[in-house]
Chains A and B, each alone.
Chain A
Amino acid sequence: MVQKTKTERNRGQKKSQSLKKANSADSENTFEAVKEKELKSIKQTGVIKQGTIAEFMRKRTQLVGFDIGYHKHTQYMAEFVDNSLDAIEICYWKYPKIYRLKEDFYFEYPKLEPLKDEDITAKNLILRMNELLEPLKDILNTEPLVVIRLQEIEKPEMLSDEQASDTRMFSFECFDNGIGLVPTDLEKFGKYLASSKSEQLKQTRGSQGFGASSAFSDAQNTTGRPITVISRHVENKKATLTCFFTTSKNQKDYTIPPSEIRVPFQHGTYVRLFYLNVRYIRGYADDYIKQTALLNSHISIVYIDPYGDVMVFPRRVTKFPNEPKYAKPHPASSSIGDFKEMLRTAKDSSIVNFLEQKFVRMSRDRAKKIVEKANKELGGFKGLNSKAPSELVEKEIRALTRVLNKQKSCLNRLAPSEFKQYLSEQKQKSILEVLSKDFPEVPKKRYKNLLKKLKLEKKTTDELSSEEIELIQSTARNEIYCPTLISFKAFKDLCNNGGDRTIYELFTEEFCKINYNSARKIIFEADKKLNYKSLNTKTVKELKKREIDVLFKLISELVEASEINNKTEFLNLLNSGKNRTISSVLQDIKGLGKSKAGEIIEKANETLQYKTLLNAKSGELTTKEIKAIYSSLMELDKCPAAITANMLEKLLKSASTTNLGTFLHRNFMDVNTKLAEQIVEEANDQLGGHISLENIPPNELDEDQMNALYKTFISEKYLAPPTDTVVPVGAEILERVIKKHFEPQFVAAETRSPTSGKGLAFVVEVAIAYGGKIKDASKAADVIYRFVNRTPKLRDNSDCAIWKTVAKVNWKNYKVDTFDNGIPKGKIRVFVNVSGPFVHVMFKSQSKQALADDEVLMKEIQLALESAGRRLKAFLLGKEKSKRKARRALTLLKNVKTFAQSLYNIECKDFTTDKHIPGKPTLEEIEARLSSPIKEDIKPDVLNVLTEQWITITEIIEDLGLETLKDKFVKDLIVDVLKDLSIEYNIIEGASSKEIIETFKNQDDPATDQLILETLRMHDMKFLNCKTCDLGKDKNSCAHFNPDHKECPIERGIYNSFTSELKSTYHLDPINDEILLDYLGMLEVQIERNHRLNKSTKNLDAQKEQFLADLQTNSSKSTGISRVKNGAALAFSELIKNGDKKLFWRIKRPDLKSILPNDEFTLESLLEMNFPNLKGGHLTQKDEFVKKVLQNTLDDLIDEGIIMQTKKKGVYRRIKSR
């Protein structure tokens, strides 16, 4: 039992833990009450039910964003689009060759007829999916693709009318050709907390396993319809179709069990579900898709909205982002909760291993250091080492007692059960062997006697019965006295019954742990107390002359020693050992043994009439003598095994030393300094402190130890986390994509280098786009685009750190105007993307809409914004410069005419005949010459403004910053300059109305809508007002004029009858289609008026016809807004055609070099190749121009020696490079 076993240790710890619990109970009054309650609740059945997460979340889908409202549409988009993007990325990272990413990719998606709401059967589902994917069949397996379709379908019958009036039912479909799900994963898909990502830290879009499952819950909760998932894993031959409900037990209830089907795609997942929500309007879900497409330009996205309109976002780049690495948490970012959780679940063998492996930036040395510090931390606050013995409190005394008791194995002190336990663990050993070996304080002989007495000496340990063991122990307790514990009464009885045995014999025979030396020591001490003198205790030095004489006499009498012949010799002998006892000196004499020496001293004592208890018979001892002996016995060093807390306390109180180690060493038997220290240490351990954490597995740490460990762990200074776990979009890609999406005049993107704040590694990217097709933002929310890990964030704008930082930047410094809340204003858009594996930590809530205000994060965003801002400022200053240049040009040009005229009059005109002098330059020539340097000066600026889209002259003027000078002269100048440039720089002027309509229809820009609606509204201002009626004879008044209504009643009548006809024919909604009705009504009024005034109505008729035709085709599938838009685009195009708004378009020369076919080709075959920036999608009338551009390019290539003309005319061939 000397070695401490592990179990023993643990037992000790558990004890100390329970001790602590008791302590904390003292400090907390409520603890007891709680405990009672717990007991009660165990006894009774209780009221508290344990729910499941599925049950919980099913009822609270709004926690993750599924509250009813416009944003709910967005939330569905978010959950499934994000999943899809992840699936595609994972697929690419695993099988990089699966997608063909080589060239820029353009495709179109036709407008599909809406399908009717059918029963949910496997056949219908597959049909529906195939219909959705049919237009994409060529690219279905090669192009990273996400297709989303949202449809409003007829309300289910089971809904009450009230419910159905403001909510509608939507069918939501999402397809991706990502990696797909294997059937076992498909089984789990949709269950709560089943996530492919939550295990480890990685830069992902989601991680919680809440998204899709919550969406499923919401879907089935609101519609009662099952969810369909069709998926084919990339390595599977067939797809699996399932149709199911999820249950509150987080299980699936299949309506169509998993069944294998054929699908047109080789890998991917298709999800279909139904949900109820408010009417779909633009500006939410579509924005989400748009913004997602913006930052995920490596994936093509198709979105079909409930109006049937298709938005196609083709892939813009040919590279996927790199796969982010899994990241270990950085110590600085670990909260105590996370830390404890990690500890509890850790399977590492030691804390050092745990720290080293679970955290980044944690070396083994550092982990050791932390553990060491934590050890100190634990010992430091309740160590016994630092305390004086008298300061020890009861708890500590008890602990110390326990440790002391353990030092020696004492049969007496061992509890019977423990002894039994101990014995049963010993296998078939002789009982005597066991006792003498493991309880060595008592000599083997005495055990032998004891066992003989009990007749058990032959037995082995396993033969002993329980009674016999108890007998052994109780007998041993009665027979073997413990010097530390024996009471005076027992001692006295022992002495009185001792009979002839000397006290010395009593000690050595009856007591445990008292040997020859100790016994003698006790007796001599007692002698001293009784003032008994004896030679036994004296040293040589103390000998008196008489005593020396007696001794000499006795020696010479008893010993025939040749050495001591005379007294001088004896004195010499004595002198050689002054400080030694007489006995030992005597033994130096040859032939004088120990017993003989004792005999001599004995005799000398007698001769001298000295008395000593050494040889006294115990039975004859007086009470006084017994008392003295007992008191000496008590002064003897204590046996650690036998010490009790009370005794120890007394000892401690009277201790003279201040060091506990010294105290133990002095007061206890067999306790040397080193052992004393060990004992104190162990007592410390017992008290819960200063257990070396090195040897404890992490999952066995108690609360205090964990706290201490966390404290030292978190207070260390660590290197910033590694940044290879972060994959940003990249400034270059960002710029390119924004350019393509927004067609701004200027864009500056900035990617900061990876940073870490509080252990979170992240990258901040910003982009600022300005001018061009970007319209003035009407509100601050339109300006800022927030992304986290490429995922757009549309809600909780102003709560977000991004928003706050944008508002904090001093935009005035960068020549940017702001709203009152500090957000930039005007033709500007700000994009901020924060990427990083730890970013989800920084969200404010579960719905992950807003980032918390982290100081470092905000600082990073601000720096990035400021850097981009500086570039914007430079651009704006340049624009300022070009504005100045344009203004200067205007001033100069205004003087050209006068100057030229004067000069012409003097030089080139005959004064008398007023005719041009032949041979002299004409006036026009002079003017042209004079103005050419001026125009030349502003040409680059005008060119700069031109985009690869139709742009009106007004927009050009605005982009040049000349909007304040909106006179005709400016317009003429710009048009003039453009004309000058047209051939040289491939500028096309004018577009057909069809092209204009297409342009505006395809622009899903609220600003464009606004423009169109404004145009329409302006339209109706012209009519029904009598002053412009033109019917009156004097044109100032009208015969029909009614002053009360201030309008012409006849025209009002025409208007009313026509609009009511429209309502009935086309089922127009008077509220939603108000503008449309107005416009058409007014158109009719105008036609009527023109009839009466005998004016041509040709244009108006055509307009009306086209409008109505458009309405006819669209009436079934589009709602008010889109109808208005279609019509408005038409009206707008008329306006542009008739008015002075001119449209321009700049063709960029195609980069033929990279796409030239290897075999022979002609101009025509090249034209069919449909160059994106050459054909632009809608360029029909000016194809000649395109041809010219292409021809020029080809000529250049011939000059460059890249292609050559073959013998056949118009056929070209590439020159092969050697």
Chain B
Amino acid sequence: MPRSTKKVTDKKPQKRDLTDYSPTKTKSTTKTTQKIPRKIDPKFAKIQHLKTKKPVKPSTESTSLTEKVVKVDEATTEDTYKRIHLTTEALLEQILASGKPSFEIPSRSSSNIVWDETQDLLLLGDKMIKRPFHSLASVVDATRLMRLIEIVHELLLKDIHATKREIYYTDVELFEDQKYSDKIIEDLAAMLKVIRNSTHIVASAKGACIGRLKIRDSGDEIDLTRGSGGWSISPFLDRIEIVESDAEFILVVEKDAALIRLSEAKWWEEYPCIILTGKGSADIATRMFLRLLTKELDLPCFCLVDSDPYGHYIYSVYLRGSKRLGYESPFLATPSLKLLGVLSRDLDQYDIPKKCRLRLTKADEKRTKEMLNEPFVRKNLNWVEDLELMLSLKSKAEIQALSSHGFEYLTDNYLPTKLSTGDWI
């Protein structure tokens, strides 16, 4: 029988008053999330400034989406279960009436992706596609979907989770390839108007996190300042509790290599922060975790990616969600994320030698131009400027290019300079 999942963090985070800051304050061991007070480093003046300027973020619950978009909920197990039955009952009725059942799924084609300006989020439009059983084009998808519903139904009943891979292996003959089952999984979530986590299908997470943060994972407390590899982000985020943190900001890096560099330098000791990586393009769990952190701790967060179109794209995914999962944007996106580097203008500013720069390929140029066409990019003039600069320089560089000035350059010079001067987008 369905068990209701309990939200771990049902308490609202305390509003932080920066003026209340006291360095003498001891670490709080209460459940309530607390920050470890530290003296204000002049290096972070800009960050403080950012904080004060930060607009009051509307809570997820009260997210009022415009009429024309599909409302997606982070539904409880019971709720999802009910929704499934609503769907199947309707199907059965159709079968008994005409013998010709048909699914209705919100279209996830790019034409049905809407950018919500007020909230700065990518959302799904109200365009629906039909997936009738009696059509050669959709019969296989319809059957797969039906089968998936059965599987999810079982997951919900048993209150267990399964990864996408597991789903695929429950009926390899039917699904043929994991890419098809993955697609159907997204279809199902969209159809039920729940986020994917509500279907008890979890993505295998590859992200890692390290820094000034204490969490409780399935009851075990973990201090993320310990160790060098960081904590692997768990896909079961509903079992994670954030205990405490004294970080001043969150730093999202694109690659594992950067994380290792920072972890080796124990960078967070000097610059109190939480470092997080999605190891390339961020998976859902990582993005949700980042969102959870920013929501709970209310910290400014920065993103360090390669100076190439792909890096900018990764940033944009953290920022607004991917197009594919547009409807889940409210639950995945971190609109307050700032792009710290490496910016195109940094290449000259930090004297990245020519040998460390790469030429933009045709595909890069195309991708850049595509990004420039995105409405949310165009709204940020600084970003536009930097992308255009990239186009005119016709060169790109990885984070590692900074190592040309020495391996410590990133930790000792670049990041501090950027942060202290407020040189971000």
Q: Which residues of A contact B (CB under 8 A)?
A: 888, 891-892, 895, 898-899, 902-903, 905-908, 911, 920-921, 926, 929-930, 932-934
Contact = CB atoms under 8 A, between A and B. Distances in A.
B174 A898 contact: yes
A888 B136 contact: yes
A882 to B, nearest CB: 15
A492 B96 CA distance: 146
B139 interface: yes
Contacts of A895: 133, 139-140, 142-143
B100 A911 contact: no
Nearest to B87: A906
B89 interface: yes
B266 interface: no
Given A895-B139, A895-B143, A902-B147, A921 B96 contact: yes
B157 A899 contact: no
A930 B99 contact: yes
Nearest to B141: A895
B149 interface: yes
A238 to B, nearest CB: 77
A886 to B, nearest CB: 12
Contacts of A911: 154, 157
B133 A899 contact: yes
Contacts of B284: none
B128 interface: no
A891 B96 CA distance: 21
B96 A906 contact: no
Contacts, number: 68
Interface of B: 84-85, 88-89, 91-92, 95-96, 98-101, 133-134, 136, 139-140, 142-143, 146-147, 149-150, 153-154, 157, 174
Contact of B150 (A892, A905, A921, A932): A905
A907 B92 contact: yes
Which 6 interchain pairs have the tightest Cβ spacing?
A902-B150, A895-B143, A902-B146, A929-B99, A899-B143, A899-B146
Given A899-B101, A929-B95, A930-B95, 19 more contacts: A891-B139, A892-B134, A892-B136, A895-B142, A895-B143, A898-B146, A899-B147, A902-B147, A903-B88, A903-B95, A903-B146, A903-B150, A905-B153, A907-B89, A926-B95, A929-B99, A930-B99, A933-B99, A933-B100
Contacts of A907: 85, 88-89, 92
Contacts of A933: 98-100, 134
17 contacts: A891-B136, A892-B133, A895-B133, A898-B147, A899-B142, A899-B143, A902-B147, A902-B149, A905-B150, A906-B149, A907-B85, A907-B89, A921-B95, A921-B96, A926-B92, A930-B101, A933-B100
Nearest to A893: B139
B157 to A, nearest CB: 6
Contacts of B157: 911
Given A903-B92, A907-B89, A898 B143 contact: yes
Given A902-B149, A930-B99, A921 B92 contact: yes
Nearest to B95: A929
Contacts of B99: 929-930, 932-933
A1178 to B, nearest CB: 39
Contacts of B98: 933
Contacts of B147: 898-899, 902
A930 B149 CA distance: 18
A926 B100 CA distance: 11
Contacts of A920: 92
Contacts of A898: 143, 146-147, 174
Contacts of B154: 911
A1154 to B, nearest CB: 40
A906 B142 contact: no
A892 B133 CA distance: 8
B84 A906 contact: yes
Nearest to B94: A929
Nearest to B91: A903
A63 to B, nearest CB: 65
Contact of A906 (B95, B143, B150): B150
Contacts of A906: 84-85, 88, 149-150, 153
Nearest to B1: A912
B97 to A, nearest CB: 9
B89 A930 contact: no
* Residue with the greatest number of chain A CB neighbours at <10 A, chosen from B134, B136, B140, B157: B134
Contacts of A930: 95, 99, 101, 133
A980 to B, nearest CB: 14
A906 B149 CA distance: 8
Contacts of B85: 906-907
Contacts of B146: 898-899, 902-903
A1112 to B, nearest CB: 58
B158 to A, nearest CB: 9
A932 to B, nearest CB: 5
Contacts of A892: 133-134, 136, 139
Contacts of A921: 92, 95-96
Nearest to B98: A933
Contacts of A926: 92, 95
Nearest to A897: B143
* Residue with the greatest number of chain B CB neighbours at <10 A, chosen from A898, A899, A920: A899
A908 B91 CA distance: 12
A911 B150 CA distance: 11
Contacts of B101: 899, 930
A1066 to B, nearest CB: 57
B118 to A, nearest CB: 39
A898 to B, nearest CB: 5
B96 A929 contact: yes
* Residue with the greatest number of chain B CB neighbours at <10 A, chosen from A891, A903, A930, A934: A903
A934 B147 CA distance: 20
Contacts of A902: 143, 146-147, 149-150
Nearest to A892: B139
* Residue with the greatest number of chain B CB neighbours at <10 A, chosen from A926, A929, A933, A934: A929
A893 to B, nearest CB: 10
A241 to B, nearest CB: 75
Contacts of A908: 92
A913 to B, nearest CB: 13
A230 B4 CA distance: 107
A978 to B, nearest CB: 20
A427 B199 CA distance: 144
A920 B95 CA distance: 12
Nearest to B157: A911
Contacts of B142: 895, 899
Nearest to A937: B134
B187 to A, nearest CB: 15
A932 B146 CA distance: 19
Contacts of A888: 136
Contacts of B89: 907
* Residue with the greatest number of chain A CB neighbours at <10 A, chosen from B85, B140, B143, B174: B143
Contacts of B149: 902, 906
A905 B96 CA distance: 16
B42 to A, nearest CB: 62
A340 B288 CA distance: 110
Contacts of B91: 903
A899 B92 CA distance: 11
B385 to A, nearest CB: 53
A930 B143 CA distance: 12
Nearest to A926: B95
Contacts of B153: 905-906
B91 to A, nearest CB: 6
A891 B143 CA distance: 11
A934 B134 CA distance: 7
A1056 to B, nearest CB: 53
A929 B91 CA distance: 12
A897 to B, nearest CB: 9
B61 to A, nearest CB: 30
Contacts of B150: 902-903, 905-906
A999 B91 CA distance: 49
